[in-house]
Amino acid sequence: MSGSRIHVGGAGPYDVVVGTGVLGELPAMAGEGARAAAVVHAEGLPEIARPVCRALEKAGLTVHAFPVPDGEAAKEIGVLAGLWSGFAAAGMTRTDVVVGVGGGSTTDLAGFAAASWLRGVRAVLVPTTLLGMVDAAVGGKTGINIPEGKNLVGAFHPPAGVLCDLATLVTMPREDYISGLAEIIKAGFIADPRILELVEADPAGAASPDGPHTRELVERAVQVKADVVSADLKESGLREILNYGHTLAHAIEKAEDYRFRHGHAVAIGMVYAAELARLAGRLPAALVERHRAVLTSVGLPVSYGADWPGLRATMTIDKKARGTTLRFVVLDGLARPGRLEGPAEDLLAAAYREVSR
C-alpha cells in the first residue's frame, strides 16, 4: 500500500512516509550510489529486521546486520564503538548507507553511528514504535547517553528518509504504545489542537494502534515536527518548543537510571511546565487541568514522587540551559509556546509540589 508523504525541508530535505507496507520505498531512500547497507536493529526485532534486509538485498545491496540491545541500553558508548568496528570490518564507505530499525533508542544510535562514521554517511530510519515514528526518527537529532545525562553526546544528522510502517505498531506492548502518545499529545498542546480533540473524543481508540484515528494522529504529530525542524534544524530558537515537558522529564529519566519510559516522563514534565506557567501568571488553570485530563484519559501518569533537590540539580545540565540560567518551554495559551528564563527557585519548587505525590 502507498503511504502519505510528509516533507521535511531545510538544508538536508527528506520525506517521512507514513502508511502500511511501505518498505518498497526503502531502496530509493538508500541512494543510487550505495553498494552496502549496515542494518542496525534492536536485537528483539529480528522478524521486523528481516524484511528490511530482504528489501535491500533485492535492490542489489550487500547487507550487514548489526543487532544492538533493546531500549536505552543501546545508547552507550561501548555499543557505538562496536558499530564503528563492525562498519570497518564490513568495509563501509562514504557512499554506503546505515539503516536503523527499531524504537527511538535504536534510531538515535544508528543515526549517530552514521553521523560519525567517516564524518557522515547516509542514514535511513525505519522506526517501529509510536515514539520513534512521531519523535525520535524525525528531525535529525542523534545521540547517546553518558552517566551524567541523556543525549548529551550527539550530532544533528538529517536522515535521507524515514519509513513509518503502521503495521509494526500492533506488536508493541500496550504500555510502550501509550508512552508514545505523550509526544503526540505534546504536539497538540504546542501547535495542533485538533490532536487533543481527537484524543478527547475517543481516548480508548487513541490508546490502541487499531484505533480509528491512529494514522491521522501519527501524521499530524509528524507534520508538527516537520514544520518546526524545517525552519530550525539545530535548535537555535523555534525548535526548542519541541522540548515542552522535557526539562523535568530528562531529570526523571536520569533519576530512574533510564528505566522510566520516556513518554511517561514527558507526560509528568508537561504537567510540571503547565503548573510553572500557571504560577508565573501565564497560563489559566483550566488549561493546566486539560493537560491532566487528556493525559490520564489514555493512561499516562501526571505525578511523580522523587525528592526535588536531586531533580533540580540534574536540570542544571539540561541542554536548554544557558550557563547557570534554566530555560523552560511553557505555554501562554493553547498552541502558543513561549519561554520562561531563570524562574525563581521557590517558583520551581512550588510547581513541583503540584505534581509530586
Whether 64 is catalytic? no
Q: Is residue 205 part of a domain?
A: no
Q: Is 141 a catalytic residue?
A: yes
Same domain, 276 and 293: yes
What per-residue confidence (pLDDT) applies to 324?
A: 67
- Residue ending a domain, among 118, 139, 171, is 171
Is residue 102 annotated as involved in ligand binding? no
Strand pairing class (62-68; 97-102): unpaired
Count of domains for the chain: 2
Task: Based on the residue annotation, tell me whether 262 is a catalytic residue of this protein.
Answer: yes
Q: Is the pTM of this model over 0.75?
A: yes
Query: Do 91 and 126 reside in the same domain of the chain?
Result: yes
Residues 127 and 249 in one domain: no
- The CATH number given to whatever domain includes residue 76 is 3.40.50.1970
Question: What CATH number corresponds to the domain at position 288?
Answer: 1.20.1090.10
Look up 327 and say whether it is catalytic: no
Tell me whether residue 291 is one of the annotated catalytic residues: no
Distance (Å, whole) CA 283 – CA 334: 9
Q: What is the pLDDT of residue 325?
A: 83
The answer to whether residue 28 is domain-embedded is yes
172: left (phi over 0), alpha (psi -120 to 50) or beta: beta
- Domain shared by 133 and 149, yes or no: yes
Is there a domain that residue 246 lies in?
yes
Q: Are residues 14 and 94 part of one domain? A: yes
> Do the annotations mark residue 168 as ligand-binding?
yes
171 in a known ligand binding site: yes
**Residue 254, annotated ligand binder?**
no
Catalytic, 250? Answer yes
213 belongs to a structural domain = no
In a domain, 237, yes or no: no
Q: 3-state class of 154 per DSSP?
A: strand
130 and 117, same structural domain? yes
What is the C-alpha separation between 227 and 76, in angstroms, rounded?
A: 30
CB 108 within 8 A of CB 75: yes
Which one of 25, 76, 235, 253 is the catalytic residue? 235
Q: Is residue 205 predicted with pLDDT exceeding 60? A: yes
Residue from 220, 250, 291, 327 carrying the catalytic annotation: 250
Q: Which entry of 243, 253, 261, 275 is annotated as an active-site residue?
A: 243
Same-domain status, 145 and 185? no
70 is in an annotated binding site: yes
Please check whether residue 137 lies inside any domain of the structure: yes
Do 180 and 98 fall into the same domain?
no
Identify the active-site residue in 157, 254, 261, 262.
Answer: 262
SS3 state of residue 101 = strand
Our answer to whether residue 253 is catalytic in this structure is: no
Q: How far is residue 150's CA from residue 161's CA, in Å, rounded to a whole number?
A: 25
Give mean pLDDT, residues 227-256: 86
119 tagged catalytic: yes
Cα torsion angle, 72, 73, 74, 78, sign: positive
Does the structure show a pLDDT above 60 at 9? yes
Supply the range of the domain harboring residue 270: 175-191+242-353
Could you report the per-residue pLDDT of 154-182, keeping only the tens digit for each?
999 999 999 999 999 998 999 999 999 99
Are residues 159 and 69 part of one domain?
A: yes
* Residue 213 known to bind ligand: no
Is 74 marked as a binding-site residue? yes
The pLDDT mean for the chain works out to: 93
Looking at residues 290-298, what average pLDDT do you find?
Answer: 98
pLDDT digits (tens, 9 = 90+) for 121-160: 999 999 999 999 999 889 899 999 988 877 889 999 999 9
Per the CB < 8 A criterion, the answer to whether 195 and 188 are in contact is: yes
Q: Which of 41, 186, 220, 225 is catalytic?
A: 225
Residues 276 and 153 occupy one common structural domain: no
Inside any domain, residue 229: no
Q: Is the pLDDT of residue 87 over 90?
A: yes
Q: Check whether 234 is labelled as a binding-site residue.
A: no
The verdict on 164 and 286 lying in the same domain is no
Q: Does residue 261 sit in the same domain as residue 346? A: yes
Does the annotation list 157 as a binding residue?
A: no
Query: Of 25, 145, 157, 183, which one is the catalytic site residue?
Result: 183
Residue 196 lies in a domain: no
